[in-house]
Structure 1
Amino acid sequence: MRKITGALLLSPLLIATSCPAANWSLGAQGGLYQTPYQTRHVLRWALPYVGYDGKTWYLDGTEAGYNFINTDTLLLRAKVYYYDTLYRADTGQTPALRGLSNRNSTMMGGMTMQYTTPVGAFSATIAGDTLDVSNGVVANSAYIAMVQWGDFTLVPEAGMDFSNAQNTRYYYGISEKESAKTGLATWRPQSSIVPYAQLAMNYAWTPLWNTWAQFTQRFYPSTISDSPMVNKNNVRELTVGMSYTF
């Protein structure tokens, strides 16, 4: 799952070190990414960026939420966010893959807790599907560091994305009905864990103008990579953006 982030919340670690005054940001962001699915091309996207950085409420592109606790060391928030995993059958590489049903993106809602220490931040999130698309549950745990050189900020992150069996089956499973229709083997996976490594960076050209970039590498377990829908065991993602804060 890609997290589409912006200049305000490039990493949750930045919240603990940011100014408490509320700010709005407007900009644009885009990127390209691989998916594990057997599709015919790399996906590209572009979106306007809107951000709001308040002490309690926040908006960061495709994520919004409320901070119950927001101190220098502890963050506890409720949030909703766009869960962008999807499969469009008409992009499948073979007629059989094009005969499958679409797998749709959804909106997740849940909680995040983060504890910041002198050596970095430790974050945990749990969320569930709010739109009855997969009816699944996902979770994330991550270690986030931050290094600053003047106006340049570097944010390395390593973590794991958990998806329960229901969510994994919706996005990567093949039902008996689909198998009979397409000739692909049935696939009924259990829960899955996807490790990832991420490097994000932000450069403040002025106190108001920011640019950012984020590169992510994900490593898929056999629970996912052995699906007849899938032909990759790792994928790469790139996001770039620019915003103006006022």
Structure 2
Amino acid sequence: MTKFDKNYTPLAVLLSLGLIQNAAADDLSLGAAVGIKTSPYKGANTKASPLPFINYDSQYFFIHGLGAGIHLYKDDHNEFNVIGEYSPMGFKSGDTDDSQLKKLNKRKSTIMAGMSYIHRDIWGVIHADVMRDTSGDSNGMTSDVGYSYRFEWNKFEFTPGVGVLWSSKKQNEYYYGISQSESLRSGLNAYDPNDSISPYVQMSLDYPFATDWKASISARYSVLSSQVKNSPMVDKSGVSSLGIGINYSF
């Protein structure tokens, strides 16, 4: 069952591939989108959310969906950035129908901040980032490294991509670990995961259908690491995301 949630906003991830491909100096686009994402947690409903969308990129700073940053260096092929973005990862008892998970502590969403590098060439785009939790709840870190290439056919723009996401031990402990006190309260086994690597595939399809208007569909599937899958909180081997949006470029 799909649950409609106005607070869930996954398109920073879903549309990042297209944004990296399309970023140009002083480019501004506004639009709206709907995002749908499966949850790795037991008994949790798939969530859908509408949201406004902003994409702006200048020589000095940028806004990409739920993320923003400053260009430390930028030329036609390379970018080094300081970045910050909202991470919608989280868990609360109301998210699940599982009676045991309802007795676990809340895991909060956060702002992740760090550094990123992007290289563009005729053979595609490479991106890499290192991010850290700024809230102090998890004190965890993540790193995303990926590759994408854009194909054009008539008016359609198709961009497949692959990558890997590394999550630190502290990141996984916060979102998927179960403490001794939670174990006693819920009846679930205590669990203390290590760091993990999760590969993913993603793709986006863009269609300019009128002057300065574009419709987009983006999707990602991530294979969960054994460190995540083995958590008593989790009952899936992978999670998927889908975004459908429309935007106008100025």
Q: Using structure 2 for the length normalisation, give the TM-score.
A: 0.90
Whether 1:82 and 2:83 are equivalent positions in the alignment is: no
Does the 8 Å contact 1:8/1:53 carry over to 2? Answer: no
1:172-191 map, 5 Å: 172-191=176-195
Counterpart pick for 1:42 among 39, 46, 49: 46
Give the counterpart letter for 1:229 in structure 2: M
Q: Structure 1 residues 235, 26: closer, same or farther in 2, change over 3 A?
A: same
1:183-202 map, 5 Å: 183-202=187-206
Aligned partners of 1:79 and 1:5: how far apart in 2? 14
Aligned partners of 1:204 and 1:149: how far apart in 2? 12
5+ long unaligned stretches in structure 2: 1-8
The alpha-carbon deviation at position 24 of structure 1 amounts to: 2.6
Runs of 4+ in structure 1 deviating by more than 3 angstroms, as ranges, are 5-9
Aligned partners of 1:82 and 1:95: how far apart in 2? 29
Aligned partners of 2:20 and 2:89: how far apart in 1? 22
Who is 1:56 aligned against? 60
Q: Structure 1 residues 9, 183: closer, same or farther in 2, change over 3 A?
A: closer
Aligned partners of 1:56 and 1:205: how far apart in 2? 30
Who is 1:245 aligned against? 249
Number of equivalent positions: 242
Counterpart pick for 2:31 among 23, 27, 35: 27
Whether 1:157 and 2:165 are equivalent positions in the alignment is: no
Does 28-37 or 185-194 show the bigger shift?
Answer: 28-37
Match of 2:100, SS?
helix
Give the counterpart letter for 2:22 in structure 1: L
1:1-246 map, 5 Å: 2-4=10-12, 10-15=18-23, 18=24, 20=25, 22-246=26-250
Aligned partners of 1:2 and 1:28: how far apart in 2? 13
Aligned partners of 1:68 and 1:155: how far apart in 2? 27
RMSD over equivalenced CA pairs, Å: 1.9
The alpha-carbon deviation at position 131 of structure 1 amounts to: 1.6
Q: Using structure 1 for the length normalisation, give the TM-score.
A: 0.92
Does the 8 Å contact 2:39/2:46 carry over to 1? Answer: yes
The alpha-carbon deviation at position 176 of structure 1 amounts to: 0.6
Does 153-162 or 200-209 show the bigger shift?
Answer: 200-209
Q: Structure 1 residues 69, 78: closer, same or farther in 2, change over 3 A?
A: same
5+ long unaligned stretches in structure 1: none
Give the counterpart letter for 1:173 in structure 2: G
